[in-house]
């Protein structure tokens, strides 16, 4: 039975920071930034991190699919918000995966995404495996990494049977080649010299892995339709492809101009974009690099056109808001100390026992539906809220995350503390019934209006600066269309 990809999806934050704004702010210190001041990089909102972006990519991938058959969730990142808490467990809860679903974190290398994909494919016969990768990497101001890095996520559902892209072969090499590192207790990457990375890393380690794949899988390089590999060094990937015998036109756009390199997620994000454009029979190669290399080959099947993600990589690239305020970027990433005022001085300790008891409601956004009258409500309660029913103990689980809603009332509050004032919130009325007062995100005050369609998104509710705990909940954002 064929193993391969069943579904794919991606996520790129709405905001795109202009590289010209970065160069303008820091050019006085590093004049070399002006030569890189083209395009834009994806910039996560203050309430986004690798967990929330992984949830968004997974939802884009899974759509309305029944998730009960997913046997495992694999989460790859180099920027997990928790060092000692299962980050994949938070993602699984937000996706309402059953508790029997295994969940694993994969970290510590930029090829965590491709390595995780390779491992998941090995277990594909056990049941569908959900692979998600996301990164929100911290960078020092006025450095080249600040220009090159972007925030984003990708998701792939792999399994066996009616796949849309069949695994043809894979190869891997593990080499302790340190192109950059980030040690424990340090917030930023320390990069090494670019020419060394190009000549000893890409041109030898990746080239050797790529040659092994082509030989072992008996692939004619001239038959490759798409080659996906992230690299911000100019002309390196084209040189690798030529050396291997591929055509010039198969090298895929690395999306650096549109969103930047999204770390461990980027090979999978490029793969998802290649799948969006693939035709039956197309041969797609994806490679990851970091203390070695992974290369995997997939062939699109006749089913490739029968699947489309909810929005996809192309949809997220098109859905953008230009950000020219470099100071906002620094503030969102806590790279500058802001005077946040007395209203921000609140102890944000989270009652972990209450979080556990209410995990379905808080993380999974599960409300109730009365089995007698069908009334939908949030939160679930012992008594139906319908005054004509009031039946007791009739509430069944009703997930709200994928239900469309509209703004019923709204406020743009200049007094309530928020990292991105004003605080926008209001009442959301769901089409199937039920309503909730909740925060809004990714919206400008001028765009608030009664009746506006809104989607539910999983975001950071707040962060506890004293203890480092991150609390998540759902917010309303302007509805996205494909």
Distance CA 224, CA 447 (A): 46
Tokens of 250: 């198969």
| Fold that domain 3-332 belongs to in CATH | Peroxisomal Thiolase; Chain A, domain 1 (3.40.47)
User: Tell me: the pLDDT tens digits for 294-344?
Assistant: 999 999 999 999 999 999 999 999 999 999 999 999 999 999 988 888 888
Distance CA 124, CA 159 (A): 4
- Contact indicator for 431, 408 with CB cutoff of 8 Å: no
Q: Rounded to the nearest 5°, which phi and psi values hold at 391?
A: -65, 145
Angle at 390 between CA 385 and CA 394, to 5 degrees: 90
| Structure confidence at residue 380 (pLDDT) | 94
Instruction: Name the helix (H) or strand (E) containing 413.
Output: strand 405-413
Instruction: Name the helix (H) or strand (E) containing 148.
Output: helix 144-148
Query: Residue 433's closest CA among 390, 392, 374?
Result: 374
| Structure confidence at residue 482 (pLDDT) | 52
Per DSSP bridges, beta strands 165-174 and 292-300 are antiparallel
CATH of domain 346-365+400-478: 2.40.50
- Contact indicator for 189, 148 with CB cutoff of 8 Å: no
**Domain limits, the chain:** 3-332, 346-365+400-478
Angle at 133 between CA 127 and CA 137, to 5 degrees: 165
Angle at 245 between CA 239 and CA 250, to 5 degrees: 70
User: Tell me: the pLDDT tens digits for 5-23?
Assistant: 999 999 999 999 999 999 9
Per-residue pLDDT of the chain (482 residues; tens, 9 = 90+): 799 999 999 999 999 999 999 999 999 999 989 988 999 999 999 999 999 999 999 999 999 999 999 999 999 999 999 999 999 999 999 999 999 999 999 999 999 999 999 999 999 999 999 999 999 999 999 999 999 999 999 999 999 999 999 999 999 999 999 999 999 999 999 999 999 999 999 999 999 999 999 999 999 999 999 999 999 998 999 999 999 999 999 999 999 999 999 999 999 999 999 999 999 999 999 999 999 999 999 999 999 999 999 999 999 999 999 999 999 999 999 999 888 888 888 888 899 999 999 999 999 999 999 999 999 999 999 999 999 999 999 999 999 999 999 999 999 999 999 999 999 999 999 999 999 999 999 999 999 999 999 999 999 999 999 999 999 999 999 998 75
């Amino acid at each position: 039975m064929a193993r391969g990809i069943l579904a794919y999806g991606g996520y790129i934050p709405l905001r795109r920071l202009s590289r010209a704004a970065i160069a303008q702010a820091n050019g006085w210190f590093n004049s070399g930034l002006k030569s890189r001041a083209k395009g834009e990089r994806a910039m996560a909102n203050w309430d986004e991190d690798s967990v929330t972006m992984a949830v968004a990519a997974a939802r884009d991938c899974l759509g309305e699919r029944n998730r009960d058959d997913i046997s495992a969730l694999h989460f790859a990142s180099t920027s997990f918000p928790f060092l000692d808490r299962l980050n994949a467990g938070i993602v699984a809860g937000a996706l309402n995966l059953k508790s029997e679903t295994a969940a694993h974190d994969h970290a510590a290398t930029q090829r965590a995404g491709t390595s995780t994909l390779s491992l998941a494919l090995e277990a594909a016969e056990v049941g569908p495996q959900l692979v998600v990768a996301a990164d929100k990497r911290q960078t020092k101001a006025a450095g080249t990494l600040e220009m090159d890095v972007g925030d984003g996520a990708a998701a792939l559902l792999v399994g066996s049977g009616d796949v849309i892209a069949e695994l043809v072969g894979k190869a891997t090499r593990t080499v302790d080649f340190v192109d950059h590192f980030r040690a424990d207790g340090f917030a930023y990457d320390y990069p090494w010299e670019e020419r060394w990375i190009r000549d000893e890393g890409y041109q030898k380690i990746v080239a050797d892995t790529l040659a092994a794949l082509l030989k072992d899988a008996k692939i004619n390089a001239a038959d490759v339709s798409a080659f996906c590999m992230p690299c911000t060094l100019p002309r390196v990937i084209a040189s690798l492809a030529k050396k291997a015998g591929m055509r010039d036109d198969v090298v895929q756009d690395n999306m650096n101009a549109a969103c930047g390199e999204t770390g461990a997620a980027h090979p999978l994000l490029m793969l998802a974009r290649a799948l969006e454009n693939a035709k039956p029979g197309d041969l797609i190669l994806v490679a990851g690099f970091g203390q070695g290399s992974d290369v995997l080959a997939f062939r699109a099947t006749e089913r490739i056109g029968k699947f489309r993600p909810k929005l996809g990589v192309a949809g997220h690239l098109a859905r953008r808001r230009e950000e020219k305020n470099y100071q906002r970027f620094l503030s969102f990433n806590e790279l500058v100390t802001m005077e946040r005022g007395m209203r921000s001085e609140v102890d944000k300790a989270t009652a972990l026992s209450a979080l556990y008891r209410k995990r379905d409601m808080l993380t999974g956004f599960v409300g109730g539906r009365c089995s007698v009258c069908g009334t939908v409500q949030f939160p679930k309660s012992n008594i139906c809220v319908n005054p004509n029913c009031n039946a007791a103990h009739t509430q069944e689980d009703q997930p709200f995350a994928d239900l469309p809603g509209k703004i019923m009332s709204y406020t743009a509050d200049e007094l309530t503390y928020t990292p991105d004032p004003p605080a926008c919130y209001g009442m959301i009325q769901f089409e199937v019934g039920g309503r909730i007062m909740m925060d809004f995100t990714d919206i400008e005050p001028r765009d608030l209006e009664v009746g506006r369609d809104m989607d539910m998104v999983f975001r950071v509710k707040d962060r506890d600066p004293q203890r480092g705990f991150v609390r998540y909940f759902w917010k309303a954002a302007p509805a996205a269309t494909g």
